[in-house]
RNA sequence: GGCCCCAUCGUCUAGUCAGGCCUAGGACACCAGGUUUUCAUCCUGGCGACGGGGGUUCGAAUCCCCCUGGGGUCACCA
């Protein structure tokens, strides 16, 4: 008894001419999840694509678990990603308030109506009793929903028990024998039998309405045109549609985006890796790279484009191009994109971006020393460093570790470096270069490559015989930036000192 | 288990709605070369997929059915 769900019934992009109003509705019970960030991104993109409005609505009906810090970190994460909202906290708007906890008057009116019209009823089952009935129904493998005795209570009796102080919740009276159709921009027509939908709790015993209740009412009141949310909400949709029908309000278009999966192929969770956007911020992923990556998870511009800007995404964004299957969170690709963005950045901007990490690693003080390229730690020197390291960086946070040797007095030689210096004649060649370097007026000598070649010829050996131990002595390892850059960043004093004070073999 | 969703290289995907232009394209990863004073970057090449079975059709990755597989959900959380 379900529709085929074939491609034919996938909605056209804009099924009507309502202005585009979308919302992201996080609940402030934790950090912003990667999946939530992508959902927010898609909402934002649709609004920007159509010159619509992006609403941020805080779903804080769970008074037990809300925290102010969570809210703050969610807002911070969104701003960091560049997802600016037009209505919501700190932005205001004509459909506020934007905190559900402050919208009780709206809900109260609906509650009274529901009670009067009979589509809400008082249920006196305790949570345990309700759970037991649900389980028993499951155990008996009976079709449809479990039967709630409170559903058949007379209004008089229900009111009497309530007046006597008995605790109750308000449940939605799901109509029997209905077929609920949901039009979804990503999945086409999806339908549910109402007999499969349980009489869900609309208002808790403490008087606070639940998610499904508030959500449908707010979406209607805020004139939301498209609800773009995670696929885990697909099964909630008939509840919200039925409520909207009872209330006689508009039902938005839906677009349920596939889940982001962890390495285990299941919904991304803390078990399989970091799930909060904040974790990635802390690890030194540039915002543009993360934005690009998130967009790529489930969306594609065409068959070739993988690196694109926000503007390009906005220009190309279309719900029809969101894929239906879940996507694994591929850290390799994320890492690649980061490198790509780091290499694209202008040196001054990259220097700014990397500064916090240098400070955190204690390589650089709050206030940079004055001076030019010759002053270690100065702005000019740092830009030189960044330029030299740029194409070797995968993450912003990698710089301190990779560049530490340029900040220290002496080099720490690793095994490979020691081995290189232990080779026959290596130390002598390093000393010869040190002497030649000292004799030069310019430091490092101009045309360093050519200069070195001349030195090698004078010594009668190949480049490798000189460069390798020289690098080992200078940097303490065998990889890294060009030696001319290393020399310049080290400066005459430090560089020569390193060449003169080789580690004992 | 019930209900719902999904199914192209190891991964992200293009192609599926309007069946032939697909001996299935791109990117990441991986492997092999090249450039380079090292590392990295960059360039070239390679590996590698339509889950299975039935239909429909002159022709199916594309349409239909079944199977299999994966996921989501079954809260007084959202």
Can you list the domains of chain A with their CATH numbers? 1-258 (3.40.50.620), 270-340 (1.10.1160.10), 346-406 (1.10.8.70), 415-500 (1.10.10.350)
A185 touches strand B (CB under 7 A): no
A251 CA to B13 C1' in angstroms comes to: 32
Using omega within 30 degrees of 0 as the cis cutoff, is the peptide bond preceding A444 cis? yes
What pLDDT, on the 0 to 100 scale, is given for residue A446?
Answer: 83
Phi, psi at A144, each rounded to 5°:
75, -155
Helix then strand then coil, in percent of chain A rounded to 5, is 50, 10, 40
Q: Which residue has the tokens 């109402």?
A: A194
β-pair type (A327-328, A201-203): unpaired
By C-alpha to C1' distance, B11 is nearest to A330
Which residues of chain A (94-153) touch nucleic strand B at CB < 7 A? 125-127, 130-131, 134, 138, 141, 143
What pLDDT, on the 0 to 100 scale, is given for residue A473?
Answer: 92
- Residue A170 · residue A143 · CB < 8 Å: no
By C-alpha to C1' distance, B73 is nearest to A235
A323 CA to B22 C1' in angstroms comes to: 21
Give dist(CA A502, CA A505) in Å, integer: 9
Contacts of A311 (CB under 8 A, 6+ apart): none
Which residues of chain A (383-442) touch nucleic strand B at CB < 7 A? 391-392
Give dist(CA A149, CA A124) in Å, integer: 9
Give dist(CA A445, CA A455) in Å, integer: 12
DSSP bridge pairs for A121: A171
- Residue A266, CA: closest nucleotide via C1'? B71
Alpha-carbon torsion A268, A274, A277, A283, what sign?
negative
A313 CA to B24 C1' in angstroms comes to: 26
Give dist(CA A240, CA A364) in Å, integer: 55
Do the interacting molecules here have an ipTM over 0.85? yes
Give dist(CA A314, CA A289) in Å, integer: 16
Contacts of A13 (CB under 8 A, 6+ apart): A185, A318, A319, A320
Contacts of A250 (CB under 8 A, 6+ apart): A220, A223, A244
What are the residue numbers of the active site of A? 270
Give dist(CA A100, CA A208) in Å, integer: 10
Which residues of chain A (230-269) touch nucleic strand B at CB < 7 A? 231-236, 258-259, 261, 265-267
Question: How confident is the prediction along chain A (505 residues), in pLDDT tens digits per residue?
Answer: 223 333 333 344 344 568 999 999 999 999 999 999 999 999 999 999 999 999 999 999 888 889 999 999 999 999 999 999 999 999 988 998 999 999 999 999 999 999 999 999 999 999 999 999 999 998 888 888 999 999 999 999 999 999 999 999 999 999 999 999 999 999 999 999 999 999 999 999 999 999 999 999 999 999 999 999 999 999 999 999 999 999 999 999 999 999 999 888 888 888 777 889 999 999 999 999 999 999 999 999 999 999 999 999 999 999 999 999 999 999 999 999 999 999 999 999 999 999 999 999 999 999 999 988 889 899 999 999 999 999 999 999 999 999 999 998 888 888 888 888 888 888 889 998 998 888 888 888 888 888 898 888 888 888 888 999 999 999 999 999 999 999 999 999 899 999 888 766 5
Give, for A413, the enclosing helix (H) or strand (E): none
Radius of gyration of chain A (CA): 32
Give dist(CA A99, CA A201) in Å, integer: 20
> CA of A302: how far to CAs of A131, A316, A321, A402, in Å?
48, 9, 9, 37
Tell me the residue length of chain A.
Answer: 505
β-pair type (A260-261, A327-328): parallel
A101 CA to B12 C1' in angstroms comes to: 39
Q: Which residue has the tokens 């490092």?
A: A444
Phi, psi at A284, each rounded to 5°:
90, 30
Token pair for A108: 């109260």
Nearest to A114 by CA among A246, A251, A216, A214: A246
- Residue A159 · residue A175 · CB < 8 Å: no
What pLDDT, on the 0 to 100 scale, is given for residue A504?
Answer: 63
Which nucleotides of chain B have an atom under 7 angstroms from any protein CB?
1-8, 10-18, 25-29, 37-42, 62-65, 70-78
- Residue A243 · residue A212 · CB < 8 Å: yes
What pLDDT, on the 0 to 100 scale, is given for residue A406?
Answer: 95
């Amino acid at each position: 008894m379900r529709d085929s769900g074939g491609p034919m019934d996938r909605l056209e992009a804009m099924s009507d001419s309502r202005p585009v109003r979308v919302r992201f509705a996080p609940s402030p019970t934790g950090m912003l999840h990667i999946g939530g960030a992508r959902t927010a991104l898609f909402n934002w993109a649709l609004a920007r694509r159509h010159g619509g409005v992006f609403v941020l609505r805080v779903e804080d009906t769970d008074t037990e678990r809300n925290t102010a810090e969570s809210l703050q970190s969610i807002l911070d994460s969104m701003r960091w990603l560049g997802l600016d909202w037009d209505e919501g906290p700190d932005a205001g708007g004509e459909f506020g308030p934007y905190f559900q906890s402050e919208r009780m008057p709206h809900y109260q009116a609906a509650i009274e109506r529901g009670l009067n019209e009979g589509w809400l009823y008082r249920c006196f089952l305790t949570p345990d009793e309700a759970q037991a009935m649900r389980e028993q129904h499951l155990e008996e493998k009976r079709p449809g929903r479990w039967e709630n005795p409170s559903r058949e209570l007379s209004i008089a009796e229900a009111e009497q028990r309530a007046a006597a102080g008995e605790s109750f919740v308000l449940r939605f009276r799901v109509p029997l024998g209905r077929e609920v159709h949901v039009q979804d921009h990503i999945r086409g027509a999806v339908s549910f039998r109402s007999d499969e939908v349980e009489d869900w709790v609309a208002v808790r015993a403490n008087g606070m309405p639940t998610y499904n209740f508030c959500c449908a009412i707010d979406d209607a009141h805020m004139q939301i045109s498209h609800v773009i949310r995670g696929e885990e909400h697909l099964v909630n949709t008939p509840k919200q549609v039925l409520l909207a029908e009872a209330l006689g309000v508009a039902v938005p278009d839906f677009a349920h985006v596939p889940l982001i999966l962890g390495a285990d192929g299941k919904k991304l969770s803390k078990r399989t890796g970091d799930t909060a956007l904040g974790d990635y911020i802390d690890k030194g992923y540039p915002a543009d790279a993360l934005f690009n990556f998130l967009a790529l998870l489930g969306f594609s511009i065409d068959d070739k484009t993988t690196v694109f800007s926000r503007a390009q995404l906005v220009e190309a964004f279309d719900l029809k191009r969101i894929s239906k299957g879940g996507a694994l969170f591929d850290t390799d690709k994320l890492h690649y994109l980061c490198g790509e963005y780091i290499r694209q950045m202008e040196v001054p901007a990259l220097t700014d971006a990397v500064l916090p990490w240098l400070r955190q690693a204690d390589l650089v003080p709050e206030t940079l020393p004055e001076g030019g390229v010759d002053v270690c730690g100065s702005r000019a020197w740092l830009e030189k460093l960044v330029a030299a390291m740029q194409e070797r960086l995968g993450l912003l946070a990698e710089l301190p570790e990779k560049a530490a040797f340029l900040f220290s007095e002496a080099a720490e030689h690793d095994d490979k470096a020691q081995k290189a210096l232990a080779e026959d004649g290596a130390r002598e060649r390093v000393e010869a270069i040190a002497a030649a370097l000292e004799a030069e007026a310019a430091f490092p000598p101009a045309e360093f490559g050519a200069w070195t070649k001349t030195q090698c010829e004078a010594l009668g050996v190949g480049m490798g015989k000189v460069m390798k131990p020289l690098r080992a002595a200078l940097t303490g390892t065998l990889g890294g930036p060009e030696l001319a850059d290393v020399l310049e960043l080290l400066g005459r004093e430090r560089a020569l000192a390193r060449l003169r004070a080789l580690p004992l073999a």
